[in-house]
Amino acid sequence: MSSDSHNRPTLRSLIDRFGFPHLLATTLVLVAATILLGVAAKATGSGLACEANWPQCDAGPYNLLPANLPSFYEWVHRFVAMFAGFAIIGSALASWRLEDIDNRVASLVVLGMILTPIQVYLGGQTVLQYEMEILSLHFWTAILIFAMFVVATVLVWQSSLTAGSVTTALAVGLVSLPLHVALSPTDLGVVTSYSPTVQLFQYGVTLSLLGALIVATMVGRWHFDDRGLLGLIYGSTGLALAVAYLGRQAVMANSMLLDRLYLVLAGALILALAIGIARSRR
């Protein structure tokens, strides 16, 4: 018997015990956690901790452990990112080897695996060079990987998602968006200081907003024939991406024009989400 025939039942046994959908969902959670911990490391100024070493840190055997609190933030980010990378590779291998996995799912998670070493390289460059262009590319590559795993997870859980899931997803977006604006450093923001805690919550809300709109778009296509509603949902997804981008640029560019454009698009998105909820419930 070939080595492949030995490995395949073992892999099948592990997946049957844990479940590929749960493996994919866990990977998605780890990807989101890695993004948020990366935001926390940057917001606390810990990105250049560990004495700007990468992948080592600044204490312990072979400088593998953190020496202080800022280094600890950066170290935890790297530690969770390592497990997220393992989960991504495991999901990709499982999707490739298991015969009953949708080809679309396999393509998405394999592409995520291909992007992972690129993302790791960019993460190292944020420490070794710390240039704004590299930071932005590192962040948006992470968002791309997150979005691909959201899509793959939704495809895997398709049988469990009903028309009501569209209304729920739009409602999550409608709740997330005002929080995103409130936590922003714009004129309408209610926070007096754009602290690391505020940044962490705002980026958490960003992931919720983007994830919710992806779910609404995909499930809406499966359950609704209302072209007006579908167009509204598609437009909302585009607006959500623009709001997420401008929200980040408003912090980095400190531009009044970008702030106003961000607030206008956020207002349009709130209106679109509210109308979408009403139409999806009908």
Residue 232 token pair: 């509204």
Model confidence pLDDT, tens digit, residues 53-107: 788 888 888 888 888 888 888 889 889 999 999 999 999 999 888 888 889 999 9
∠ CA(256), CA(233), CA(140), 5° rounding? Answer: 50
Give the pLDDT score at 6: 47
At 41, list the tokens.
């490391």
Q: How far apart are CA 242 and CA 237, in angstroms?
A: 9
The number of beta carbons lying within 10 Å of the beta carbon of residue 230 is: 18
pLDDT digits (tens, 9 = 90+) for 229-281: 899 999 999 999 999 988 887 666 667 888 888 889 999 999 999 999 999 88
| pLDDT reported for residue 58 | 83
Spell out the residues 6+ positions from residue 151 whose beta carbon is closer than 8 angstroms to its own: 108, 214, 218
- For residue 14, the model assigns a pLDDT of 52
Q: Quick one: pLDDT band at residue 33, thresholds 50, 70, 90?
A: very high
Angle value at C-alpha 227, between 222 and 230, nearest 5 degrees: 55
| pLDDT at residue number 141 | 94
The confidence score (pLDDT) of residue 12 equals 52
How far apart CA 195 and CA 47 sit, in angstroms, is: 16
Q: Would you say 134 and 122 are in contact if contact means Cβ atoms under 8 Å apart?
A: yes
Model pLDDT, residue 26: 93
Give which of 54, 115, 53 is closest to 84, Cα–Cα: 115
At 142-187, the pLDDT tens digits run 999 999 999 999 999 999 999 999 999 999 999 999 999 888 877 6
